[in-house]
């Protein structure tokens, strides 16, 4: 049953992926305050995610795995002797995988390939103990059976290393893939957001870079790279050339994270705006060491405090709402305009921040901080990578039918309630969000101290029950609090009034700043003349 739910989740990604656009932040162990390797993911798309757990299993010789395509075709591939437990997008060995789609050259999509990227992610998690093994699984399966997706950037982390793997197909009729994987330098971090980020890379040091043998030759054959130009070969330039629209859509998000974690480097938005030809570096060393809590805050970003701040301006409306409805680009009077694309976005289906730690046993060291819907409005829940069960409310729901029984819908409801009077309602969300997440972070060392005692005493079954129960209760509590919050928001903000703590409604109206904009646009018909007031 659980396995079925997980398969449906990844099948749904393609069906409802109306707009590609995800963000991933990866931090190496020397760049974190506690030695964690951190991976993260905003999975953006209009679809309903089902949280899933696949149990570990032993398999008999000759056993196969069924890979189903959207036309109903079933292809069987050999199963391995043992598959590891997978908790959503993290496995029992503390390996976590996230992705962003960079699309790349459209002619390189192979419609006859077997694997979409999400199936490769699942199989890699089932079959890998390390990030390097996961890279091998993804690339070998895609080469052997064919790759069906467009260009993809994977963040693959374990308890010691972080790697970025970029993959693209070879086009119709060519089954294999072009790929390159680069290890994130120790002490540094990476952000990717729908653009390929690997430029030049070392070709004689497999400890820090691995790649397909024809990565350069194929680019030459296709005319993507001219060796006579005397320019160093760049995977990004060859396989994912960017125009101004894509730069702004993707690179502005990378800039926003880098400017927050390394203010001393004074990163400029010019590359994202097409005013500079100098791309942002593959990775950077942050000015300070990061924590899971800090990475969560980085994922909550609308360009606050910058010239691109989405909380200000006429487009933010009377209540400073930082969300813009699609399409992201639009035309008025023959001129094309574009909204900013922030990291925090309303179409996020789910988000996670994974924590992998080498100084703790795997069942305790791996924590999958998970949330539904927009990062700014969700609550991250600690789920240990060894858990065997989680509340059913996180595993059900349909995009076509609202239900309070589905945690995804409950979070989505709260978010949509906030959009109408954002500047007021976000405070209520953040109050509860801060309280719950704050308690989870405070409890973490105590939970893990007890868990470690169980592990050392050899009580592994009790340890699994203990961590599963704790993660379950955290998930259940957050779900119930968000149900309460949805009802509270409807009650407090009703018919344009705001109730006080005693339940009395007050007419709060609009800010002076917004009213001045209204007066500028339509003041003549709103102004109350003195003689009119005497009548």
Q: How many other C-beta atoms are found inside a 10 Å radius of the C-beta of residue 47?
A: 21
Kindly tell me if the per-residue pLDDT of 404 is higher than 90. yes
pLDDT of residue 10: 40
Residue 343 lies in a domain: no
Q: Is residue 244 part of a domain?
A: yes
Q: What is the band of 1 on the pLDDT scale with cuts at 50, 70, 90?
A: very low
Task: Kindly tell me if the per-residue pLDDT of 448 is higher than 90.
Answer: yes
Residues 105 and 208 in one domain: yes
- pLDDT exceeds 60 at position 529: yes
Its pTM stands at 0.94
- On whether both 132 and 37 belong to a single domain, the answer is yes
Tell me whether residue 303 is in a domain.
no
Q: Is the pLDDT of residue 38 over 60?
A: yes
Question: Are 365 and 238 members of one domain?
Answer: no
In terms of domains, do 279 and 396 share one? no
- Residue 481 in domain: yes
Q: Is residue 9 scored above 80 in pLDDT?
A: no
* pLDDT, average across residues 90-116: 97
Q: Give the pLDDT mean for 390-417.
A: 98
Picking from 14-23, 52-61, 123-132, which range would have the lowest pLDDT averaged per residue?
14-23
Identify whether residues 96 and 202 lie together within a single domain: yes
Domain count, the chain: 3
Expressed as residue numbers, the domain containing 438 is 360-494
The mean pLDDT of 44-71, rounded to a whole number, is: 94
Phi, psi of 25 (to 5 degrees): -120, 130
Considering the domain boundaries, does residue 325 fall inside one?
A: no
Work out the percent of the chain whose per-residue pLDDT is above 70: 95
Percent of the chain with pLDDT over 90: 91
Q: What is the 3-state secondary structure (H, E, C) of 48-91?
A: CCCCCEECCEECCCCCEEEEECCCCCEEEEECCCEECCEECCEE
385 and 463 belong to one structural domain = yes
Tell me: pLDDT of 7 over 80: no
Query: Three-class SS of residue 169?
Result: strand
Which is higher by pLDDT, 14 or 338?
A: 338
Both tokens of 316, joined, read 């933010």
Do 477 and 521 belong together in one domain? Answer: no
246, 383: one domain: no
pLDDT (mean) for 513-522:
92
Residues 231 and 103 in one domain: yes
Q: With respect to residue 238, please indicate whether it lies within any of the assigned structural domains.
A: yes
> Is 402 among the domain residues?
yes
Q: What is the mean pLDDT of residues 254-276?
A: 97
273-326 pLDDT, tens digit each = 999 999 999 999 999 999 999 999 999 999 999 999 999 999 999 999 999 999
Residue ending a domain, among 288, 319, 351, is 288
Predicted pLDDT at 69: 83
Boundary-marking domain end, from 288, 307, 338: 288
pLDDT at position 532 over 80: no
Q: What's the distance, CA 451 to chain centroid?
A: 29
Query: For residue 528, what pLDDT is reported?
Result: 78
For range 107-134, the mean pLDDT: 97
**Nearest alpha-carbon partner for 200 in 231, 240, 168, 155:** 231
- Residue-wise pLDDT for 230-246, tens only, equals 899 999 999 999 999 99
Average pLDDT over residues 465-472: 98
SS3 at position 478: helix
Q: Specify whether the CB–CB gap between 251 and 289 falls below 8 A.
A: no
pLDDT at residue number 19: 45
Please state, rounded to an integer, the average pLDDT across all residues of the chain: 94
Does residue 13 register a pLDDT over 70? no
Q: How many CB atoms lie within 10 A of CB 271?
A: 19
Mean pLDDT of 180-188: 98
First-to-last C-alpha distance (Å) of the chain: 73
For residue 150, count other CB atoms closer than 10 A to its CB.
Answer: 21
User: Do 125 and 257 belong to one domain?
Assistant: yes
Same domain, 392 and 259: no
When pLDDT is cut at 50, 70 and 90, the band that residue 530 belongs to is: low
Identify whether residues 466 and 521 lie together within a single domain.
no
The residue among 258, 288, 318 that closes a domain is: 288
Whether residue 393 is predicted with pLDDT greater than 70 in this model: the reply is yes
Angle separating helix axes 422-456 and 292-299, nearest 10 degrees:
150
- Could you tell me if residue 321 is inside a domain? no
């Amino acid at each position: 049953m659980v396995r079925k739910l997980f398969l449906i989740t990844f099948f749904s990604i393609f069906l409802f992926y109306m707009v590609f656009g995800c963000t991933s932040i990866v931090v190496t162990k020397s760049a974190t305050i506690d030695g964690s390797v951190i991976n993260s993911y905003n999975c953006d798309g209009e679809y309903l995610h089902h949280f899933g757990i696949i149990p570990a299993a032993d398999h008999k010789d000759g056993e196969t795995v069924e890979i189903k395509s959207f036309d109903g075709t079933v292809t069987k591939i050999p199963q391995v002797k043992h598959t590891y437990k997978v908790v959503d997008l993290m496995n029992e060995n503390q390996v976590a995988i996230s992705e962003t789609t960079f699309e790349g050259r459209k002619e390189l999509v192979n419609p006859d390939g077997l694997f979409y990227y999400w199936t490769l992610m699942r199989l890699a998690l089932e079959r890998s103990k390390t990030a390097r093994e996961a890279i091998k699984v993804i690339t070998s399966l895609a080469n052997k059976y064919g790759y069906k997706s467009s260009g993809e950037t994977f963040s693959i982390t374990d308890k010691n290393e972080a790697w970025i793997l970029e993959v693209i197909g070879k086009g119709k009729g060519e089954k294999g893939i072009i790929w390159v994987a680069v290890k994130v330098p120790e002490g540094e971090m990476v952000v990717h957001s729908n653009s390929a980020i690997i430029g030049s890379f070392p070709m004689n040091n497999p400890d820090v870079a691995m790649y397909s043998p024809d990565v350069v030759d194929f680019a030459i054959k296709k005319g993507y790279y001219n060796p006579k130009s005397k320019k160093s070969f760049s995977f990004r330039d060859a396989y994912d050339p960017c125009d101004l629209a894509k730069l702004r859509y993707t690179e502005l998000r990378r800039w926003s994270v880098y400017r927050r974690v390394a203010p001393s480097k004074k990163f400029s938005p010019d590359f994202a705006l097409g005013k500079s030809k100098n791309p942002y570096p593959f990775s950077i060393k942050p000015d300070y060491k990061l924590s899971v809590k800090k990475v969560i805050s980085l994922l909550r970003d609308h360009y606050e405090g910058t010239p691109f701040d989405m909380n200000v301006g006429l487009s933010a409306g009377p209540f400073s709402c930082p969300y813009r409805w699609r399409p992201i680009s639009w035309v008025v009077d023959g001129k094309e305009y574009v909204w900013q694309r922030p990291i925090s976005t309303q179409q996020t289906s789910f988000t996670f921040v994974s924590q992998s730690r080498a100084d703790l046993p795997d069942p305790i060291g791996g924590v999958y901080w998970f949330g539904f819907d927009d990062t700014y409005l969700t609550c991250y829940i600690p789920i240990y990578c060894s858990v065997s069960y989680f509340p059913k409310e996180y595993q059900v729901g349909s995009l076509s039918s609202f239900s309070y029984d589905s945690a995804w819908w409950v979070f989505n409801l709260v978010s949509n309630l906030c959009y109408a009077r954002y500047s007021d309602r976000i405070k209520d969300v953040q109050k509860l969000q801060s309280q719950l997440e704050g308690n989870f972070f405070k409890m973490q060392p105590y939970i893990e101290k007890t868990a470690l005692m169980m592990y050392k005493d050899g009580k592994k079954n009790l340890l699994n029950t203990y961590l599963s129960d704790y993660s379950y209760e955290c998930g259940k509590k957050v779900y119930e609090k968000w149900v309460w919050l949805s009802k509270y928001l409807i009650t407090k903000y009703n018919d344009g009034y705001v109730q006080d703590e005693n339940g009395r409604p007050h007419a709060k109206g609009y800010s002076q700043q917004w009213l001045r904009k209204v007066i500028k646009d339509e003041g003549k018909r709103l102004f109350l003349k003195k003689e009119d007031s005497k009548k």
